[in-house]
């Protein structure tokens, strides 16, 4: 026992040293491959003895008057990555539309109800991860409800991925995620600038993206931050990874929802597998890297078929083949 | 500097001379090819450093009690041509149906609200082009709202494509577009006659389509007019182009929406590229020619597969390959 505990402590030290070292260097092709290998290690084996729900029950908080596509894209992506059940918590008005996109989703028309936080809260113990923000919009009532749901998810120790107008909320109230170790933020260029200004009081240094993402992550108490861009830059307060998996140059709306929905599942898998499995980067870094690589690969494959006319629906059709190619072959 | 300015002035003069000359001759196969080349020059390169929205954020004003397909066709065509985001501003009742056609669209149920002009006006600064009319209908309240939105778009200098019942509105009040240099009207045979009678006080001369389109365009203060027909005739008050790209003889409803939605994107691209790029015809002439050629090529390809059963949905499936064939290969 004592020897085993010593070994485990030694492995832990080595992981920290490895991560501290990797913070100071760029991310080469070899690093890309080794991080992809870490993602492969968290993917649960498909075995016949499993029950429905064991590979992931994911919730998406969003869907309002204007936006119904975004929560659908996030929720269906979670299913296509391998989750067993995918829930959407949206407004009364958005629910029938989101339901109509796909019979695969479980859609709860509760987000604009006075009882929203309790209603979603009842489901939280059954969820493995929550994606907050796709199609949330900026209505004051919905943002207040999203805040209450986020606080309940934190209290329950549930991993949360925050995107889109969920990030608008966090920029208004950074304390919402401050120091929560199971939060991942996925800002695009504009959202990253807004967050940096809110949290650090100044716009990010455009010449040093790695440094800027690391600083925001550290200022938020080591929350994982994924800055999407030409390359995706990911930091967890200790280590910085870059994902430059080949994607495409198409920038149609909805790609970020594919990323956030996939990340919901991968975050659950990575945290369940634990740092022993990911061997180096933290579980949430590995999950984020996996979601970035997958989204880019989907974009690449869809673009090869559809070129400039590629839309997010075309990319979602590639989730299965892209996942298999990156993480299973 | 002086030499550079002199050269630019000379190039400008040559363009005007070239255009004035081309007004007086027919449009040969060689002209077709050279105009297609001009369209190619305005298509933005797909580069990895871009952000979502940079290649086009398009709005469609239309969608009412009876008509929900038309604004969908226009908005999805814009995306498939290469826009990044596509909005529809329609009535409360039409919204859930239009949303359900595609999760790719952002649909705002505001067009029959007393607050419609302000609600759409808030979005206008974020849009690169507005398509007014697909599925608008002739309800008095909706036409009044469309009028207010059109005026706001003009005040904001946003390119507007006007089709279908948007043209009905313009026939009632030609002053709405009079002299607006970023307006394009896309009438079919009936709509063209109605407009000519309203603006010129007499039906168009059926024996001289080029002259008739040019006269209407000039009477409206050099607004670009696209008369759709067996050949499409396009004029901007100075020059007349004809598009006789091979299409099909199928005349199912919705083809005009594919044209107007595509034209929204191409108008933005052309105006952004400027006359230096289009080298000869004005940017909006080039955009209109491109949208006509694309619609006809989609029709041809869809007809080759589906024959008499071809519908607009079949044509929209051809937007990617047709665009690539005409403008990218």
Residues of B in contact with A68 (CB under 8 A): 99, 103, 107
**Any idea what the Cα angle at residue B162 is, between residues B157 and B168, rounded to 5°?**
130
**Spatial separation of the C-alpha atoms in residues A157 and A151, rounded to whole Å:** 10
A278: its two tokens? 């990911």
Set of chain A residues whose Cβ sits within 8 Å of the Cβ of B104: 69, 252-254, 311-313
Q: Are A261 and A131 in contact (CB under 8 A)?
A: yes
Burial of residue A40 (number of CB atoms within 10 Å: 0-12, 13-18, 19+): middle
- Cα–Cα distance for residue pair A276/A320, rounded to 1 Å: 27
pLDDT of B47: 84
Rounded CA Rg of chain A: 19
CA–CA dist A138, A143 (Å, integer):
6
Is the pLDDT at B24 greater than 50? The verdict is no
What does the pLDDT look like over B226-259, one tens digit per residue? 999 999 999 999 999 999 999 999 989 999 999 9
Give mean pLDDT, residues A11-15: 61
CB of A188 within 8 Å of a chain B CB? The answer is: yes
pLDDT at residue number A24: 45
| Minimal C-alpha gap between B104 and chain A (Å) | 6
Does residue B17 surpass a pLDDT of 90?
no
- Over residues A284-303, the pLDDT tens digits come to 999 999 999 999 999 999 99
> To the nearest whole number, what is the mean pLDDT of chain A?
93
pLDDT recorded at residue A32: 86
Res A54: pLDDT: 85
Which pLDDT score, from 0 to 100, does residue B225 have? 98
Q: What is the pLDDT of residues A101-157, one digit of tens each?
A: 999 999 999 999 999 999 999 999 999 999 999 999 999 999 999 999 999 999 999
Residue B82 has pLDDT above 90, yes or no: yes
- If we measure between CA atoms, which residue out of A292, A162, A164 comes closest to residue A231? A292
**CA A307 – CA A311 distance, rounded (Å):** 9
Residue B1's pLDDT is 42
Q: Is A77 on the interface with B (CB under 8 A)?
A: no
Can you give the pLDDT at residue B276?
85
Q: Quick one: pLDDT at residue B49?
A: 80
Reply yes or no on whether the pLDDT at B14 is more than 70. Answer: no
Q: A133 vs A127, A161, A165, B248, CA distance in Å? A: 16, 9, 5, 45
pLDDT at B68 over 80: yes
State what percent of residues in chain A have pLDDT above 70. Answer: 91
Stretch B86-99: mean pLDDT, rounded?
98
Question: What does the pLDDT read at residue B53?
Answer: 86
**What's the mean pLDDT in B132-155?**
98
Question: Which residues from B are below 8 Å from A73, CB to CB?
Answer: 103
Q: Is B51 annotated as a binding residue?
A: no
CA distance A296 to A43: 18
DSSP, res B82: T
Tallying the residues shown for chain A, one arrives at: 329
DSSP alpha helix (H) spans, B274-282: 275-278
* pLDDT tens figures, B286-324: 999 999 999 999 999 999 999 999 999 999 999 999 999
Evaluate if residue A29 carries a pLDDT over 90: no
Give A156-185 pLDDT, tens digit per residue. Answer: 999 999 999 999 999 999 999 999 999 999
Mutation site, A295, A310, A311, interface B, largest B CB count within 10 A: A311
Give yes or no for residue B110 having a pLDDT over 50.
Answer: yes
Name the band, by pLDDT with cuts 50, 70 and 90, for residue A312.
Answer: very high
Average pLDDT (B85-110) is 98
**Residue B321: closest CA among chain A residues belongs to which residue?**
A306
Query: Is the pLDDT reported for residue A4 higher than 60?
Result: no
What pLDDT score was predicted for residue A28? 63
Q: For A257, list phi and psi in degrees, rounded to 5.
A: -75, -35
| A313 with B106: Cβ contact below 8 A | no
pLDDT score at B7: 62
Name residues 48-67 of chain B within 8 A of A (Cβ).
48-55
DSSP 8-state symbol, A325:
I
- The CA distance from B257 to B229, in Å, is 14
Contacts of residue B261, Cβ cutoff 8 Å, sequence gap at least 6? B58, B60, B73, B74, B75, B76, B77, B78, B81, B86, B131, B134
Q: Looking at residue A1, what is its pLDDT?
A: 43
Q: Is A96 on the interface with B (CB under 8 A)?
A: yes
Does residue A64 register a pLDDT over 50? Answer: yes
| Chain A residues lying within 8 Å of B108, measured CB to CB | 65-66
The label of the residue with tokens 């203060």 reads B221
How far does chain A reach from its first CA to its final CA, in angstroms? 37
Confidence at residue A48, expressed as pLDDT on a 0 to 100 scale:
85
Among B48, B103, B105, beta carbon nearest to A249: B48
ipTM: 0.90
Tell me if A257 is assigned to a ligand binding site.
yes
Q: Any bridge partners for residue A53, and if so which?
A: none
Over the stretch A210-267, which tens digit does the pLDDT of each residue have?
Answer: 999 999 999 999 999 999 999 999 999 999 999 999 999 998 999 999 999 999 999 9
Contact A97/B99 with Cβ under 8 angstroms? yes
- Band of pLDDT at residue B121, cut at 50, 70 and 90: very high
Cα separations (Å) of A323 from A212, A290, A299, B198? Answer: 30, 9, 12, 59
**Res. B197: pLDDT tops 90:** yes
Of B34 and A29, the structure prediction assigns the larger pLDDT to B34
| CB within 8 Å of B296: residues ≥ 6 apart | B232, B243, B245, B246, B247
């Amino acid at each position: 026992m004592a020897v085993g505990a010593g070994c485990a402590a030694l492995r832990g030290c080595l992981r920290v040293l490895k991560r501290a070292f990797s913070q100071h260097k760029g991310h080469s092709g070899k690093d890309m491959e080794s991080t992809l290998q870490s993602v492969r290690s968290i993917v649960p084996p498909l075995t016949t003895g499993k029950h429905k729900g064991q590979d992931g029950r994911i919730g998406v908080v969003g869907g309002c008057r204007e936006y119904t596509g975004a929560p659908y894209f996030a929720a269906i992506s979670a299913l296509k990555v391998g989750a067993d059940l995918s829930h959407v918590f949206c407004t009364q008005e958005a629910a029938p539309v989101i339901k109509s996109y796909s019979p695969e989703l479980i859609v709860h028309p509760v987000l604009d109800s006075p009882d929203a936080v309790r209603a979603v809260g009842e489901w939280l113990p059954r969820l493995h991860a929550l994606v907050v923000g796709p199609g949330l919009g900026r209505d004051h009532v919905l943002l207040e409800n999203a805040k209450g749901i986020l606080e309940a998810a934190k209290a329950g120790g549930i991993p949360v991925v925050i995107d889109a107008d969920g990030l608008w909320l966090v920029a208004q109230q950074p304390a919402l995620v401050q120091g929560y170790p199971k939060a991942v933020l996925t800002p695009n260029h504009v959202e990253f600038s807004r967050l940096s200004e809110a949290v650090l009081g100044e716009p990010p240094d455009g010449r040093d993206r790695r440094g800027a993402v690391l600083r925001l992550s550290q200022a938020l108490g080591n929350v994982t931050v994924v800055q999407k861009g030409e390359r995706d830059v990911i930091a967890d307060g200790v280590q910085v990874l870059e994902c430059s998996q080949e994607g495409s140059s198409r920038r149609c709306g909805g790609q970020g929802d594919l990323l956030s929905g996939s990340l919901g599942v991968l975050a659950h898998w990575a945290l369940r597998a634990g740092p022993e499995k990911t061997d180096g980067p933290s579980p949430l870094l590995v999950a984020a890297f996996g979601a970035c690589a997958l989204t880019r690969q989907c974009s690449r494959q869809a673009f090869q078929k559809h070129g400039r006319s590629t839309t997010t629906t075309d990319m979602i059709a590639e989730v299965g083949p892209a996942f298999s190619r990156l993480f299973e072959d």
